[in-house]
Chains A and B, each alone.
Chain A
Amino acid sequence: QTKWDLPAAYPATNFHSVNLEQFAKDVDKATGGKLKITVHANASLYKAPEIKRAVQQGQAQIGEILLVNFQNEWQIFGADGLPFLADSYDESMRLYKAQKPFLEKKLGEQGMMLLYAVAWPPQGIYTKRTLNSAADMKGLKWRAYSPATARIAELVGAQPVTVQAAELSQAMATGVVDSYMSSGSTGYDSKTYEHIKNWYDTQAWLPKNAVIVNKAAFNALDKGTQDALLKAGAEAEARGWEASKAENTRTQNLLKQNGMNIITPPAQLKADMKKVGDTMLKEWLDKAGPEGKALVDAYRK
């Protein structure tokens, strides 16, 4: 019997974590108990930024990471964080398919393999203001939690503010932050509706969580177990994307019930944000080089 540890950063109730638990059960069943995977949700084993390295070095045989987190290391990891490049589940899936060979190659070089990836619900803008165009965003105190969200703030003239997730709730209550970009699901989980009443459903991007496996640990499994793992992974991927869509609908309804105005972005705002997206794509292509170009070409084909 082989035992694997699977560190994950999100709470046990999050739909990604629930999916992981199901995946672990499926593997257990399919291998007749030969491979037992323990899911350590809620960053109880490693914190989000440490998980990739833990898998790479074999401290954990398998783990779940947020791909865009690793954009600083390699630009392609951040492709699903580019605003308005892929702005629906269908396009996100197409982007994933285009991104996949690149991810597999890079992770392969690092001694890992990609088992599956699932998108988060699409990102919108939480703000205390009414927005008709990007000009209305000038001076917003905008939580910048990643290089991309910081750049958006700069481009629309908002003030990027550094606030940790743990302090977001209090920061919104006291006015340290009055806007940020996130999904309906994260906004609901973090109770944003207690402080902010508008969510502009811009569907800016759908970041993905990826489940990665240490190659040496995988190779140490017998053929039957490997196949069972890959099959359970493929099933988890299909299940996860559906769960993400369901979560999107569910949390948007819950947001509405809790007094959040879910607003389709006005035409001008949409056009302005599209421009922001174009600028950022151009900047990204400069940094990502030929690989980046090949990825975007493959996606747009």
Chain B
Amino acid sequence: MSDVAITTLLMFALFALLGSGVWIGLTLAGVAWIGMQLFSSRPAGDAMAITVWGSASSWTLTALPLFIWMGEILFRTKLSESMFRGLAPWVSRLPGRLLHTNVIGCTIFAAVSGSSAATCATIGKMTLPELGKRGYPDDITIGSLAGAGTLGLLIPPSIIMIVYGVSADVSIARLFVAGIIPGVVLAGLFSGYLMIWTALNRDRVPPPDRHMSFGEKVYESRHLIPVVVLIAAVLGSIYAGVATATEAAAVGVVGSLLLSAVQRSLTWQTFRDSLMGATRLYCMIALILSGAAFLTLSMGYIGLPRHLAEFVTSLGLSPFLLIVALAVFYVILGCFLDGISMVVLTMGVILPTVTAAKLDLIWFGIFIVIVVEMAQITPPVGFNLFVLQGMTGKEITWIGKVTFPFFLLMCLMVLLLWWFPQLATWLPSKM
């Protein structure tokens, strides 16, 4: 059977199962099963079990449940409310006002967490209820959260950079540093879009609170102290060499519990609720991750991503067209696979072409991170969309729709990166 026919059949199976309301994790496993049974010489069952176990017990993932738990604890403290009180006076002149909290929150939290799902879940747990309470509309708050959550990958530390660094044989330390400026620029694009959106939708943003003098603003900022202390503790534990980036999540949980105790919101009830809430949210993601791991294995056996990558590299394109083609390739792949799988499955084929085109591998790494970020928010398989569906109960198609402008902003970011490669290469060259 040709690749086109296999792809068509699998896509049909995917959309049929998803569309008829089969649970997403099971759908992915089902499509993987069909693909492997029909189009590979290996039986699917035992391979599925080995792979699912390997991915579910993989140590690199342990930060995810812990950060989710941290979010559930913080959600039950007064932390988010006080964070908003502290931030409000400073953003009151900015068009969009508190809408920027998602972007600011994700940018800061991205410096703590290496995963986009964890960033999205932790910040969303705090901002979504507060923004809703203050009358900000759902579509823009959820969209901006899904978009900004992806910054978890671009701003160091970042799991995907480690995976790319190992595959491409480039310095992970340099990659981390290279991500900082593009991360801040992308956050700026998100904020800029929020301002434009506000200008066009004035009536949809609640009116500002009363005007404050500078002194009052500074005084109100005292409410930011708990958040700043918590983030400083987590970041500090990484940079002081106390914890690795993955272990820092545990520092975050302990810090949140302490904070919760200090604020007197820690009771047996809130502890139990946060624990069970986190276990369920993590479990929901874990089922999808299991399905995705099996789908990756199945794709590895069938060889679809590899063949597609071989096709792209066989075109003999100019560097610019190569990047455009790769962007399209990864966006398509990203609709169905998660970021890490995409990198692992394709790097062996893509890298020689990239090297031959004399593209800087650090620069290319940042490019890859941005296209993987895009994959996080494209349906049907987009992890930030899943996290947000789990948290808000909104339909995934709707979340995909409200997130689309942020997808376009990331496309713009890729172009900026092409026109100004120094965005990625300047900082590492100073090391």
B172 at the interface (CB under 8 A from A): yes
| Chain A residues in 8 Å Cβ range of B246 | 164, 167
Who on chain B is nearest to A161 by CB?
Answer: B244
Contact B345 A13 (CB under 8 A): no
**Which among A51-59, A72-80, A92-100, A145-153 touches the partner chain?**
A51-59
Q: Which of B282-302 contact A (CB under 8 A)?
A: 297, 300-301
Contact A50 B173 (CB under 8 A): no
A43 at the interface (CB under 8 A from B): yes
| Chain A residues in 8 Å Cβ range of B162 | 166-167
Annotate A158-191 by CB proximity to B: 1 below 8 A, 0 otherwise.
0000011111011101111000000000000101
A44 at the interface (CB under 8 A from B): yes
Q: Which of B148-177 contact A (CB under 8 A)?
A: 157, 159, 162-163, 165-169, 171-173, 176
Contact A46 B240 (CB under 8 A): no
Contact B50 A45 (CB under 8 A): no
| Chain B residues in 8 Å Cβ range of A176 | 241-244
Who on chain A is nearest to B345 by CB?
Answer: A44
On whether A42 and B244 interact (CB within 8 A), knowing A12-B351, A169-B172, the answer reads no
Contact B173 A45 (CB under 8 A): no
| Chain A residues in 8 Å Cβ range of B239 | 174
Contact A170 B50 (CB under 8 A): no
Complex: how many Å from CA A26 to CA B348?
A: 19
Contact A46 B60 (CB under 8 A): no
A79 to chain B, nearest CB (A): 27
Who on chain B is nearest to A45 by CB?
Answer: B300
| Chain A residues in 8 Å Cβ range of B54 | 46-47, 49-50
Complex: how many Å from CA A170 to CA B165?
A: 12
B312 to chain A, nearest CB (A): 17
| Chain A residues in 8 Å Cβ range of B244 | 163-164, 167, 170-171, 176
Annotate A13-52 by CB proximity to B: 1 below 8 A, 0 otherwise.
1000000000000000000000000101111111101100
Interface residue total, chain A, C-beta cutoff 8 A: 38
Point out which of A60, A174, A189 has the most chain B C-beta atoms below 10 A from its C-beta. Answer: A174
Who on chain A is nearest to B175 by CB?
Answer: A169
A174 to chain B, nearest CB (A): 4
Point out which of B42, B176, B240 has the most chain A C-beta atoms below 10 A from its C-beta. Answer: B42
Contact B50 A175 (CB under 8 A): no
B240 to chain A, nearest CB (A): 7
B427 at the interface (CB under 8 A from A): no
On whether A173 and B60 interact (CB within 8 A), knowing A58-B42, A59-B42, the answer reads no
B277 at the interface (CB under 8 A from A): no
* Other-chain contact of B46, A12, A59, A175, A194 (Cβ < 8 Å): A59
B335 at the interface (CB under 8 A from A): no
B267 at the interface (CB under 8 A from A): no
Q: Which of A177-229 contact B (CB under 8 A)?
A: 189, 191, 194-195
Contact A170 B46 (CB under 8 A): no
B245 at the interface (CB under 8 A from A): yes
B303 at the interface (CB under 8 A from A): yes
A5 at the interface (CB under 8 A from B): yes
B401 to chain A, nearest CB (A): 33
* Other-chain contact of A167, B51, B163, B245 (Cβ < 8 Å): B245
Complex: how many Å from CA A25 to CA B20?
A: 45
A139 at the interface (CB under 8 A from B): no
Point out which of A53, A170, A194 has the most chain B C-beta atoms below 10 A from its C-beta. Answer: A170
Q: Which of B335-364 contact A (CB under 8 A)?
A: 344-345, 347-348, 351
A289 at the interface (CB under 8 A from B): no
A250 at the interface (CB under 8 A from B): no
B284 to chain A, nearest CB (A): 24
Contact A43 B46 (CB under 8 A): no
Contact A3 B50 (CB under 8 A): no
Complex: how many Å from CA A115 to CA B376?
A: 42
B234 at the interface (CB under 8 A from A): no
B62 to chain A, nearest CB (A): 10
A11 at the interface (CB under 8 A from B): yes
On whether A191 and B173 interact (CB within 8 A), knowing A54-B47, A59-B42, A59-B46, the answer reads yes
Complex: how many Å from CA A57 to CA B60?
A: 26
Q: Which of B40-57 contact A (CB under 8 A)?
A: 41-43, 46-47, 50-51, 54
Complex: how many Å from CA A43 to CA B173?
A: 22
Who on chain A is nearest to B301 by CB?
Answer: A5
On whether A12 and B297 interact (CB within 8 A), knowing A53-B50, A170-B173, the answer reads no
Contact B157 A44 (CB under 8 A): no
Annotate B166-195 by CB proximity to A: 1 below 8 A, 0 otherwise.
111101110010000000000000000000
Annotate B299-340 by CB proximity to A: 1 below 8 A, 0 otherwise.
011010000000000000000000000000000000000000
B238 at the interface (CB under 8 A from A): yes
* Other-chain contact of B348, A42, A54, A59, A163 (Cβ < 8 Å): A42
B419 at the interface (CB under 8 A from A): no
Who on chain B is nearest to A49 by CB?
Answer: B54
Complex: how many Å from CA A53 to CA B50?
A: 9
Contact A169 B171 (CB under 8 A): yes
* Other-chain contact of A189, B43, B169, B243, B345 (Cβ < 8 Å): B169
Contact B238 A44 (CB under 8 A): no
A192 to chain B, nearest CB (A): 10
Contact B157 A170 (CB under 8 A): yes
Contact A45 B297 (CB under 8 A): yes
Contact B172 A40 (CB under 8 A): no
B214 at the interface (CB under 8 A from A): no
* Other-chain contact of B171, A163, A164, A174, A194 (Cβ < 8 Å): A194
B59 at the interface (CB under 8 A from A): yes
| Chain B residues in 8 Å Cβ range of A164 | 59-60, 244, 246
Complex: how many Å from CA A49 to CA B163?
A: 17
Contact A38 B303 (CB under 8 A): yes
Point out which of B43, B347, B351 has the most chain A C-beta atoms below 10 A from its C-beta. Answer: B347
* Other-chain contact of A45, B163, B301, B347 (Cβ < 8 Å): B301
Q: Which of B18-77 contact A (CB under 8 A)?
A: 41-43, 46-47, 50-51, 54, 58-60
Contacts A/B (CB < 8 Å), 12 sampled = A11-B169, A12-B347, A12-B348, A45-B301, A46-B54, A164-B246, A166-B60, A166-B159, A169-B172, A174-B238, A176-B241, A195-B173
- 10 interchain residue pairs of minimum CB distance: A175-B241, A12-B348, A174-B241, A169-B172, A59-B47, A191-B171, A44-B344, A45-B300, A166-B162, A167-B244
Name B residues whose Cβ lies closer than 8 Å to a Cβ of A: 41-43, 46-47, 50-51, 54, 58-60, 157, 159, 162-163, 165-169, 171-173, 176, 238-246, 297, 300-301, 303, 344-345, 347-348, 351
Contacts A169-B171, A170-B157 aside, 8 further interface pairs with beta carbons under 8 A come to A5-B301, A12-B347, A44-B345, A47-B58, A54-B47, A164-B244, A171-B241, A176-B243
